[in-house]
Chain A
Amino acid sequence: MTSLILSTAARYMLPLLLLFSVFLLLRGHNEPGGGFVGGLVAAAAFSLYAIAYDVATARRVLGIDPRFLIGLGLLVALGSGVVSLAQGLPFMTGLWSEYAWPILGKVGTPLLFDIGVYLVVIGVTLTIIFALAEA
């Protein structure tokens, strides 16, 4: 069941939703949002693609195995915790850069952790949704 309206809309919605998910991710530090919701929105974007076309197409658009994303996300999250160990502070102590970036402000390890969560959520959600849709 392919619908012309849905498949055309999905093509335009995908970049918009991804952009929105990154917005949610970056906003999450001080305001409602964060890696989890951002990841869900991004996963929803690819799921929409899978509904509008099929899972194989959605996988091709994603480009990499969602399970690889889980590993990558965990790696980033673990890295954010280990940074403080290297400085002799307890595991997962929050550290921030001195320099304030435009838009982002001071970048710290919590943001890194959130990016890890973002990637893990995309990976887990898409693994499950693709598995459900393919079976």
Chain B
Amino acid sequence: METFLAFVIGGLYAAGLYMMMRRSIVKLIIGLSLLAHAANLLIFTLGRLTRGEPALIPPGGIRPERPIADPLPQALILTAIVIGFGVQAFAVVLIKRAYQTVGTDDLDDMKSTDTG
């Protein structure tokens, strides 16, 4: 399972970077969200893939009865997904406004701030 996920993560990173190198701003945003997914999956895989119960101790006990799954990577991914949701929603609004104002979705035509 780890090997499979490693390839998936690598594929996601490759696809994300490829999309970001395209000139269209829409593809740029798609690339960015792919990168975020790759990072989330990376955390998931590195947090050890184990099958286990929720990390809860029954009332009166002092330690879990069966092997538990580490809840922390899941909490991290959940937080990262929520943040990514907000950021990407903003990015979509931004590229729409930029498209309307500049009149193109080609990054090569958006150089006015570099050449001054």
Residue positions of A touching B, CB distance < 8 A: 36, 124-125, 128, 131-132, 135
Contacts and interface: CB of A to CB of B under 8 A. Distances in A.
* Chain B interface SS verdict (over half): helix
B76 interface: no
Contacts of A131: 93
Nearest to B97: A135
Interface residues of B, number: 9
A135 B100 contact: yes
Interface in B99-115: 100
B82 A128 contact: no
15 contacts: A36-B82, A124-B86, A124-B89, A125-B89, A128-B89, A128-B90, A128-B92, A128-B93, A131-B93, A132-B92, A132-B93, A132-B96, A135-B96, A135-B97, A135-B100
A57 to B, nearest CB: 21
Contacts of A128: 89-90, 92-93
A27 to B, nearest CB: 16
B99 to A, nearest CB: 10
B56 to A, nearest CB: 10
B23 to A, nearest CB: 23
Nearest to B100: A135
Contacts of B90: 128
Choose among B82, B89, B97 the residue with the greatest number of A CB atoms under 10 Å from its CB: B89
Interface in B57-116: 82, 86, 89-90, 92-93, 96-97, 100
Contacts of A36: 82
A132 B93 CA distance: 6
Nearest to A121: B82
A125 B92 CA distance: 13
Contacts of B96: 132, 135
Contacts of A124: 86, 89
A135 B92 CA distance: 12
B88 to A, nearest CB: 10
A111 B26 CA distance: 39
Contacts of A125: 89
Contacts of B100: 135
A133 B100 CA distance: 13
B10 to A, nearest CB: 30
Contacts of B93: 128, 131-132
A30 to B, nearest CB: 10
